[in-house]
Every structure is written in C-alpha cells, then in structure tokens.
Amino acid sequence: MSQIARCILLRYKKITLNIMQFLKNFFWRWIFPLVLALVLYPYMLTIRIQLLQQTPEGLKHFKRDRKKSYIYAHWHEDIPILALRYAFRGFVSMASRSKDGELIARLLTLLGIKMVRGSTRHFGPETLEQILNAMRGRDLAFAVDGPKGPRHEVKPGVTYIAHKGHYSIIPVACNAKHKFVFHKSWDHMWFPIPFSKAVIICGEPIEFDGDLQRSLQTLKNQAQEFFLF
C-alpha cells in the first residue's frame, strides 16, 4: 500500500471514529434523557400519591407559599418519586458535574425543573451564587446525602445554602406500598410499582441550625410505618 493510500485510510478511520463518538455523545446527552422522560413521566402519573404533614402547618408550606422560598431536604433515594411532585412546579435542584449528574440534570430539565450544576460537596462562591439566583421565586429540592453518600447522612451543603440565603429547611420523606429497590446502589434508590400507592410526608420548617438529621430520620420512619397497617 502506498504512503498516500495509508494516509487516506488513517484519515478515514479518524473521521469515522470522530463521527461515532459524536453520535454516541449526542445519544446519551440528548436522545436518551428525552426517551427516559417520555417513559418515566407517564409511568409516574400512575402512582397514587398521598401528601401528609407532620403538623397542621407542614403541608401548607409544601403546597407552596409564594411569598417565601424554601429548601426541601430529602434523601437521595427518594429522587424518583419526588421528581413527579416537583415536575413543572417551578422547582430548582442541583446535580454534580459528573456523567451521572449530566444525565440527571438533562432528565430533570425536561421535567420542568431548573438545574444548577456544581459540586454538592464543596460549595464555591460561584456555585452558591448560581443557586441563590435560581431560587428567586422558586423552591430548592436538595438531596442532602448526595451525590455518593454515605446513605442517610446529612452533609453540610444544605445548611450552608440555608445560612447564606436565610432560607428555612423543610424535611421531606417518602415511601411506597409496593416498590422496586436497587439494593446494589449506595442509596438504595427505589421506584414505586405502577399503580401503587405512595406517601410523601412533609415536616415543619426548621432553621439552618436545626437538627435536620433527626427530623429526616423521624419522617422516614413515619413513611416506612405508613403501610404497615
């Protein structure tokens, strides 16, 4: 094979690889999240969700007080069921800059949730400013033990945002009567079985220095006990 032919062949292989890589990235960044949203949203609409409050005041805030924004704190495992509740309701959420975070961000964006990208472990001034700007007239949904655990351990990010923005935190916990649990994932993320019943329990707003860990665990226990009887 002549030198010219080899150069042409190498150039052709390079162009082919670039095209394949572009198509792969395009699929995972745009097509797959869209298909996932088109499948998940109708599926989640089959779930019968019951909203409960820990106190008479709790549910009032969850239904939305337009005069004030809140931070809704929840465990990472509850994201699927809460995505339905937050969808198209003017919520803000946050995702990491990882590949998994990219998929989550694009999926939730398609569900009408405004996404902020950044580190959920180490908040820099730029990330904090983006969150506070996005929260103007909106509520923030925040997985307090994300993005990678440890499971059911509140990290300081949520209290840092609440402190800097002077926001109250509303703890939220969920459960379903029939569900599929991914036990191999660090958070034991779960999905309700279609047409099953689910419960979302909303606690009282607490200040940024309140005991969020205990509040969330109490609500989670209540949610788990809801379908025992």
- Same domain for 51 and 21, yes or no, is no
- Same domain for 40 and 54, yes or no, is no
When divided into structural domains, the chain yields a total of 2
- Same domain for 61 and 6, yes or no, is no
What distances in angstroms separate CA 175 from CA 102, 107, 227, one per listed residue?
26, 22, 8
Q: What is the pLDDT of residue 83?
A: 86
- Same domain for 67 and 30, yes or no, is no
Percent of the chain with pLDDT over 90: 40
Q: Which of 35-49, 100-114, 179-193, 213-227 has the highest mean pLDDT?
A: 179-193
Q: What is the pLDDT of residue 126?
A: 83
Contacts of 12-18 with CB under 8 Å at 24 or more apart are none
Please answer whether residues 169 and 163 qualify as being in contact, where contact means their C-beta atoms are separated by less than 8 angstroms: no
Q: What is the pLDDT of residue 60?
A: 57
- Same domain for 95 and 5, yes or no, is no
- Same domain for 71 and 28, yes or no, is no
Q: At what angle do helices 125-134 and 157-165 cross, to 10 degrees?
A: 60
Q: What is the pLDDT of residue 184?
A: 92
- Same domain for 168 and 191, yes or no, is yes
For residues 115 and 220, the model is more confident at: 115
Cα 18 to Cα 154: distance, rounded to the nearest angstrom: 42
Q: Which amino acid is at 164?
A: K
- Same domain for 57 and 28, yes or no, is no
Parallel, antiparallel or unpaired: strands 48-53 and 114-117: unpaired
Question: Is it the case that residue 59 has pLDDT exceeding 80?
Answer: no
Reply yes or no: is the peptide bond before residue 150 cis, omega within 30 of 0: yes
- Provide the H-helix boundaries in 27-135: 32-45, 58-63, 79-86, 99-110, 125-134
| 3-class SS letters over 141-203 | EEECCCCCCCCCCCCCHHHHHHHHHCCEEEEEEEEECCEEECCCCCCCCEEECCCCEEEEEEC
Q: What is the pLDDT of residue 97?
A: 84
Q: What is the pLDDT of residue 229?
A: 46
- Same domain for 219 and 162, yes or no, is yes
Order of strands, edge to edge, in the sheet holding 197-202? 48-53, 197-202, 168-176, 70-74, 139-143, 91-95, 114-117
- Same domain for 134 and 153, yes or no, is yes
DSSP structure class, residue 229:
-
- Same domain for 51 and 152, yes or no, is yes
DSSP structure class, residue 66:
T
Cα 219 to chain centroid, rounded: 18
Q: Which range (12-21, 54-63, 90-99, 181-190) has the least confidence? A: 54-63
- Beta-carbon neighbour count of residue 5 at 10 Å? 9
pLDDT in tens, 163-212: 899 898 999 999 999 999 999 999 999 999 999 999 999 888 887 666 88
What's the alpha-carbon Rg for the chain, to the nearest Å? 21
Domain around 146 = 47-225
- Same domain for 187 and 75, yes or no, is yes
